[in-house]
Amino acid sequence: MVSPTDQRTDDALRVLRRVFGYDAFRGFQHEVVEHVVAGGDALVLMPTGGGKSLCYQIPALVRDGVAVVVSPLIALMQDQVDALTAVGVRAGFLNSTQDLAERRRVEAAFLAGELDLLYLAPEALATRATLALLERGRIGLFAIDEAHCVSQWGHDFRPDYLNLSMLHERWPGVPRIALTATATQATRAEIATRLKLTDARHFVASFDRPNIQYRIVPKREPRKQLLALLRDEHPGDAGIVYCLSRASVEKTAEFLVANGIAALPYHAGLDAATRAANQQRFLREDGLVMVATIAFGMGIDKPDVRFVAHLDLPKSVEGYYQETGRAGRDGLPSTAWLAYGLQDVVQQRKMIETSEGDLAHRRNLAAHLDAMLALCETVRCRRAQLLEYFGEGGTPNCGNCDTCLEPPESWDGTVAAQKLLSTVYRLDRERNQRFGAGHCVDILLGKRTDKIDQHGHDSLSTFGIGTDLREAEWRGVVRQLLAEGLLAVEGDYGTLALTEASAEVLGRRRTVTMRREPERPASGRSGKPRGAATVVADLAPAAVPVFERLRAWRAATAKEQGVPAYVIFHDATLRQIATEAPTSLAELSRISGVGDNKLAKYGEGILGVLAES
Ligand code: ADP
Ligand code: ZN
C-alpha cells in the first residue's frame, strides 16, 4: 500500500522530472514541497539562485486548485508566465499592463480551473474586484514572492504587502508560502510577524553562493579597470554594472559601447518605455551588459548573468549581497567585482552627514556603511566575513575570493596614521582650517602646490614628513582611517576632521593595522587567467564549437518565439548537451533541464544541430 505521503512524494518527484526535466531536488526544496503540498504554511529563505520558484511551482501542480502568486514584479510577469508555458504549465497573470480582453480571458481561465498558477501584483489584492474574483475560484495555495517587501526598514518596502496578512483571514484553509532571498535576521522576523506566518515552518538555507567569486579591488581608473575585466575574463558574457549616479551610468555605458562592448543604460531618469525596452533586451539577448543604478535588478531571474561589477561602493552589505547575488543563478562560475577607493568613503560619509532624517536614521546608515567598509578593508576571506555578517559564523576560508587567492599583506600603519592625524590636528587647532584628503596628503609628501604656498602650509611641522610612502599609499591610509572611524569627513567639501577615537591613535594608546596597497593592479585571477568566456572556459575543446552552434540555434529560436533565450534552455543544459552529444530523443531526455514538453518541442531541432556537428 502506498501511504498518502509517499504518493505525494512520488507526485512531486514526477513533476520535477517530467515537467522541469531535473533529476533531483536541491537542498531542502523537497521538504518545503512536501510540507506545502500537505497544506502547511512555510517561510522560505534561500539565496538568489537557490531554487525558490520550484518550492511553490511544484505544489501548485500537485495540489488541487489554482496557486495564486503575489509578486511585485509586474514587468517580469510575462517572462515568468512564458517560462512556465514553455514547460507546459498553465499560467497567467493579472496586472495593470493588460488590456481588458486579455484580462477577461485570464479571469475566465482562472474561474474554469484551467490555470495552475495565477500571478498577481500586491496592489491587485487591495481591490474589491480582484478579491471577488478570487472568492469565486478555487485556490490551492498562496505564494508570496519577494516577501521582504513587507519590511518597512528594507529598501524594497511595498505598502501593499502589509495588506497580505488578510489572506490568512479570508482563506484560512489555504496554505501560504512566503519566499525571499533577503538574509538578515531582523528582516526574517519582520516577515514572519507582518505576514502572520509565525506558525509557519521556517526553512532557512545557507546563504553561501559558492560559484560566485568575490573580488574588491583598489579603484584607480574604474572604467578602464572594468573594461579590462570584461575583455580578459568575460568577453561576450552577460553582466550587470552598477553605478551610483545616473550620470555615471550614462557615461559608463557610452564608454563601453565606444570600446566595442554591447552595453545598455538603465536608471530612473530614463522614460519608462526605454527602461522596459532595455530590460527586455537584456533578458532576451545573449551577452548584453546592463549598466544601471540600483533601480535595476529586483526579480531579474536571468540565470546566465556571468558578472556583477560595482563601480561605486554599495551603501550596505545587504545591498551588496543582493546585487552581486544576481550573478550566476545557474550555478556556473561567476564574478562579483567591486572597485573601491578613498573617494567612495568620502562621498558616502558626506552623504550620510548631510542626509535628512534624524540622528537615529543617520546612525543606522552609518552602521550599514561601516559594515560594508569593513568588508572592503578586511584581510580575511571575504566570503567568510559576508556569511558571518548574515549570521553564519565559522565558515572556513573559501579559496574563491580575492583575499583567499592573493592574500593581502598587512602592515603596522600606526606611525603613518599618527602623521596624517596630526596634520589634520595642526590644520584644525593651530590654524582653524579644514581641508580635504588630497591637500593633507600633499602636505605630508612635501609638495609645493599653489594651495600650500598660498596658505603657508610648508611651515607646518608635518610638511614633508611622509615621503616614505607613495601618494597611493597615503590615500590608502586616509581611506582606512575613515573606514575605521579614526577620521571623519565633514561638510559639503568633504574636509577631514578628527574623531574621538583619533585621540587614541595620536596618544599612542591604539595601534592601526592596515592592508597594503598593491604596487599595480592585480592582474585578474592569479595563476588562472581565463582568457575565454566563462561559460565555455572549462568545456572540452571539442565541445566548444558544438556549444556555440547550440547557442546560435537557441538565439534564433528565442527570437522566433519572442521569449528570452534562457526560456528555451539554460546554458548549463546546452553545455551538458554539447558534452554528452546525445544521439536520440531518449538520450536527450536524460539531460538536466529537458522535460517532456521541451523534448517534444525542441528535441528534433537539437538533434539536428548535433547531427550537423
Ligand atoms: P531563486 O528564485 O531562488 O533565485 P530559481 O528558482 O530561479 O532561484 O532557480 C535558480 C536556477 O536553478 C534556475 O535556473 C532553476 O531552473 C534551477 N533549479 C532550481 N531547482 C533545481 C533543481 N532541483 N535541479 C536543477 N536545477 C534547478
Ligand atoms: Zn575566501
Cα 50 to middle of ligand 1, angstroms: 6
User: Collapsing DSSP states into helix, strand and coil, what is residue 338?
Assistant: strand
User: What digits encode the pLDDT tens for the residues 36-58?
Assistant: 999 999 999 998 888 999 999 99
Tell me, in angstroms, the distance from the centre of ligand 2 to residue 512's CA: 23
Q: Tell me the CATH number at 26.
A: 3.40.50.300
304 and 176 both lie in a single domain: no
Do 257 and 364 lie in one domain? The reply is yes
Atom of ligand 1 nearest to the CA of 301: 7
> Which residues, other chains included, contact 193 with Cβ-Cβ below 8 Å and sequence gap of 6+?
none
571 contacts 332 by C-beta, under 8 angstroms: yes
Let me know if residue 529 belongs to a domain: no
Q: What is the pLDDT of residue 532?
A: 37
- Ligand at minimal distance from the CA of 147 is 1
Q: Are residues 184 and 311 in the same domain?
A: no
3-state SS class at 112: coil
pLDDT at 5: 66
Query: What CATH number corresponds to the domain at position 431?
Result: 1.10.10.10
Judge if 27 and 152 occupy the same domain. Answer: yes
Give the CATH number for residue 594: 1.10.150.80
Distances (CA, A) of 588 to 95, 145, 573, 577: 37, 33, 10, 7
Its domain, for residue 419, covers 410-516
Residues 128 and 171 in one domain: yes
* pTM of the complete model: 0.83
Q: Residue whose CA is closest, atom 16 of ligand 1?
A: 51
| Atom nearest to 23 CA in ligand 1 | 24
In the reported structure, the alpha carbon of residue 216 is separated from the centroid of ligand 2 by a whole-number distance in angstroms of 12
Looking at residue 4, its pLDDT comes to 63
Q: What is the per-residue pLDDT across 235-247, written as a single tens digit (0 to 9) for each?
A: 999 999 999 999 9
Ligand 1 midpoint to CA 309 (Å): 23
Please tell me whether residues 328 and 418 are part of one structural domain. no
Predicted local distance difference test score (pLDDT) of residue 537: 66
Residue identified by cell 545616473 is: 246
Q: Could you tell me the distance, in angstroms and rounded to a whole number, from the CA of residue 563 to the centre of ligand 2?
A: 37
Cα 271-274-278 angle, rounded to 5 deg = 140
Q: Is residue 32 in some structural domain?
A: yes
User: Which ligand has an atom closest to residue 210 CA?
Assistant: 2
Q: Which of 178, 204, 230 is the last residue of a domain?
A: 204
Q: Are residues 33 and 70 located together in one domain of the fold?
A: yes
Residues 59 and 162 placed together within one structural domain of the fold: yes
Query: Do 401 and 345 share a structural domain?
Result: yes
Question: Does residue 231 lie in a domain region?
Answer: yes
Contact at 8 Å (CB) between 21 and 33?
Answer: no
Residue found by looking up cell 574588491 in the block: 216
Q: Is residue 532 part of a domain?
A: no
- For residue 80, the CA-to-ligand 2 centroid distance in Å is 34
Q: Has residue 134 been placed in a domain?
A: yes
Closest-lying ligand 1 atom to the alpha carbon of residue 303: 14
Looking at the domain assignment, is residue 522 inside a domain?
no
In the numeric block, which cell numbers belong to residue 212?
Answer: 560566485
| 126 and 155, same domain (yes or no) | yes
- Pocket of ligand 1, beta carbon within 6 A: 22, 25-26, 29, 46, 48-54, 301, 303, 329-330, 570, 592
Q: Which residues pair with 143 in a beta bridge?
A: 69, 177
Pocket test for ligand 1, best of 15, 23, 26 (most atoms within 8 A of CB): 26
The residue contributing the CA closest to ligand 1 atom 15 is 51
Is-contact 340 216, C-beta < 8 A?
A: yes
Ligand 1 atom closest to Cα of residue 16: 23
Are 16 and 44 in a shared domain? yes
For residue 86, what pLDDT is reported?
A: 92
**Domain membership flag for residue 545:** yes
Q: How many domains does the chain have?
A: 4
Question: Which of 71, 145, 301, 302 is the best mutation target for the ligand 1 pocket, counting ligand atoms within 8 Å of the beta carbon and taking the most?
Answer: 301
Q: How far is residue 572 from each of residues 171, 214, 512, 612, measured CA to CA in Å? A: 40, 21, 47, 21
- Atom 27 of ligand 1 has which residue's CA nearest to it? 51
The segments of the chain whose pLDDT lies below 50 read 1, 521-533
Within-domain flag for 527:
no
Q: Between helices 382-389 and 359-377, what is the axis angle to 10°?
A: 150
Stated as kind and residue range, the H or E segment containing 349 is helix 342-353
Domain boundary among 179, 204, 229: 204
Domain end position, chosen among 516, 549, 574: 516
Q: Separation of 104 CA from ligand 1 center, angstroms?
A: 32
Asked whether residue 163 falls in the same domain as residue 300, the answer is no
